[in-house]
Amino acid sequence: MSELTWAEFERVDLRVGTILTAEYFKEAIKPAIKLTIDFGGEIGIKKSSAQITDHYTPQKLIGRQVSAIVNFPKKQIGPLMSECLVTGFIQDDGSVILCVPDKKAINGTRLG
């Protein structure tokens, strides 16, 4: 594993947001869920796709907070333009557990 400088870490804009909508991404090659996430006034609402179907259903995600990197370039994933990268911990079986705050945070708050 290579070391990271503080300046490199500061370039990663990792923010908390609240999931407004979630639905199965039927067009995705690998099972995924389409998310619409509110990051507050400065950043606004962004869309993403997350391969989290092993542990989560769309109905259980709405209203939950997640952490996401909001300064990656947009990426076309089938018919969806992904605007942020939702973070999670990849398990040995390949499933993903979301990285979430343990208490409610203000949407848009930056990880420090």
Q: Where are the domains of the chain?
A: 14-98
The answer to which of 5-9, 60-64, 94-98 has the lowest mean pLDDT is 5-9
* Coil vs helix vs strand at 103: coil
The DSSP bridge pattern shows strands 65-69 and 75-77 to be unpaired
Consecutive H or E run containing 8: helix 6-11
Report residue 108's pLDDT band, with 50, 70 and 90 as the boundaries.
very high
Q: How far apart are CA 17 and CA 37, in angstroms?
A: 6
Q: What is the pLDDT of residue 5?
A: 94
CATH superfamily ID and name for 14-98: Nucleic acid-binding proteins (2.40.50.140)
- Residues 56 and 98 sit within 8 Å (Cβ to Cβ): yes
**Is this model's pTM higher than 0.75 or not?**
yes
Per-residue pLDDT tens digits for 42-62: 999 999 999 999 999 999 999
CA atoms within 13 A on the CB side of 32: 17
Residue linked to tokens 């979301």: 98
As given in the structure block, the two tokens for residue 49 are 């796709």
